[in-house]
Amino acid sequence: MTELIAVVTITLLAVISPGPDFAMVSRNSLLLSRRAGVVTACGIGAGVLIHVSYTLIGVGVVIQQSLWLFTLLKMIGAAYLIYLGVSMLRNAGAARVSGGTPPTAANDFAALKTGFLTNALNPKTTIFVVSLFMQVVNPQTSLAVQIGYGLFIALAHILWFSAVALLFSAPGINARLLRLRKGIDRVFGGLLIAFGALLAIAGMR
């Protein structure tokens, strides 16, 4: 029971902490649509499952102990975040609300891919998941229970970021903030570039 409480508590604290995932979900739900925000949240949950999967099969230990491999992951993640940030700055204000336009499979896939890559390439999530399973979860805990923990972590991400999407796409909030959409893209673009730059600096060190 103590282990379960620790996993739940640490997961919830990690999920609600601001980062690239929050930036992408809030931006997509605000400037694109509620559906885009929720789909992005689902992509984030899928990204979490990647971290959980390689941790459970033991690759997480290799990543944790291999400085060059972890540095490489940091640099790849940093490059992707900077790419997203630069794209937002270049297209600032170009986003349009879907309104009554029916969502397309291509748009859903783009949102899902963005959420997935933002999380899967985030080394902070690597650190969180690997550390949680290596330091909090008992080695004697059954594989079924550990898989259950992993599914809970992914579900917690989906539910939290779906709630964020619902908040930012609420009509009252959305209508006010959409007037500032060019500035919003610039702010979120700048934040992603800053996140990426910090990761790159940490990787070089």
Q: Read off the pTM.
A: 0.78
pLDDT per position as a tens digit, 52-85: 998 888 766 666 667 777 777 778 878 888 887 8
Q: How far is CA 66 from CA 57, 60, 120, 142, in A?
A: 16, 10, 18, 27
**Taking phi first (over 0 means left), then psi (-120 to 50 degrees means alpha), and beta for anything else, what does residue 102 get?**
beta
pLDDT per position as a tens digit, 117-174: 999 988 888 888 888 888 888 878 888 999 999 999 999 999 999 999 998 888 877 6
With b for 16 or more beta-carbon neighbours within 10 A and e for fewer, the 85-101 pattern comes to: beebeeebeebebeeee
pLDDT per position as a tens digit, 8-54: 998 998 898 878 899 899 888 887 888 999 999 999 999 999 999 98
